[in-house]
Amino acid sequence: MASKAAPRQIVPIGNLSVLHGDNWGKFPLVNSLFLRGPVRVVVDPGSNIEFFEEILREGPVQILLNTHYHGDHTRHNRLFSESALHVSEADAPVYHSLDNLAAYIGRKGRYDEDMWRQMAVEERGYTPRSVDVAYRDGEVYRFGETTVEIVQAPGHTPGHSCLLFRELSAIYLADIDLTRFGPWYGNAASDIDLFLESIERVSRIQADWYIPAHGPIIPGDRISGRFEAFAKVIHDREERILELLREPHTVAGIVATHPIYRRQFEPKDVFDFMEEMMVVNHLRRSLRLQQIDAIEEGRYRAR
């Protein structure tokens, strides 16, 4: 069994290198990718910075590809200012302005928006950037003898994508990461129904290697049941919220019980915001499924 304390390491799959961040890319790090060949490609440079500094010492990187806009995946994009930036068409607006990022995340118009904007720029280094290529589902890149197929898997973000390397029989799952925590949909632009559909879609893809953004690589002979268990977490959370709503609750009242994270994490304001966004997305889904009613004074109750 893989150790949770595993140090950063490089795991090769043919000409593809999986850049495992400390502790198997545990958040706020990720497992990034580096594809060698006539075109050098970096995917989601959110792993340890030393990997990317070494890659750039070896030579230029022609393409920087992001599977989605989240900061743990784009942390070191700035190192690749000379590379052509490829992102999904649905997520591209986030790269163009901080206003768009605020709207996608759910910070737009909140009491703490100004504080969040300052943090996004000063601490997380957000700067607007032009997108060179906005890719779509099913597009195929050919880099020498290696092809990369875009498998759009929205829900986590509108444009969240997985990458299929057919010749290597490997798929980068990005944040369909199959962790025990389960799916994360803590943005205003996240969508639980789309996330469930994406999990089902990706689960049908056969590969020898499944590469999550967080956690160890999963060999194909050990993938059985993993996608189903990952999706079940959503349904378990939904049941907890519906049970709570046997009595009327506000969003704040639901968040205070921590139905998603199960306990309080620090920094409190950050985790409470993410919990709130995930609760709100559950309420949207439950309203659509007619499982709950919105009643007076911003409260909700199960039917």
Q: Is 234-302 a CATH 2.60.120 domain?
A: no
Q: In the chain, which segments carry CATH 3.60.15.10?
A: 9-224
pLDDT tens track for 56-113: 999 999 999 999 999 999 999 999 999 999 999 999 999 999 999 999 999 999 999 9
User: For the segment 236-250, what is each residue's pLDDT rounded down to a tens digit?
Assistant: 999 999 999 999 999
Q: Work out the percent of the chain whose per-residue pLDDT is above 90.
A: 92
The per-residue pLDDT for 1 is 38
Interval 12-33: pLDDT, tens: 999 999 999 999 999 989 999 9
CB proximity list for 109: less than 8 A, separation 6 or greater: none
Q: What is the pLDDT of residue 294?
A: 96
Q: Considering the entire predicted model, what is its pTM? A: 0.95
Structural tokens at position 229: 């268990």
Question: Under DSSP, is residue 62 helix (H, G, I), strand (E, B) or coil?
Answer: coil
In 153-279, DSSP assigns E strands to 161-165, 170-174, 209-212, 218-219, 249-250
List every span in the chain annotated with CATH 1.10.10: 234-302
pLDDT for residue 2: 46
Q: Where are the beta strands (DSSP E) in 112-193?
A: 133-135, 140-143, 146-152, 161-165, 170-174
Architecture of the CATH domain 9-224: 4-Layer Sandwich (3.60)
Closest CA to 188 of 256, 121, 284: 284
Q: 34-43, 112-121, 244-253: lowest mean pLDDT where?
A: 112-121
Average pLDDT score, the chain:
96
- Residue 220: predicted pLDDT: 98
What is the 8-class DSSP label of residue 77?
A: G
- For 153-188, write each residue's pLDDT tens digit: 999 999 999 999 999 999 999 999 999 999 999 999
**Do the beta carbons of residue 56 and residue 82 sit within 8 Å?**
no
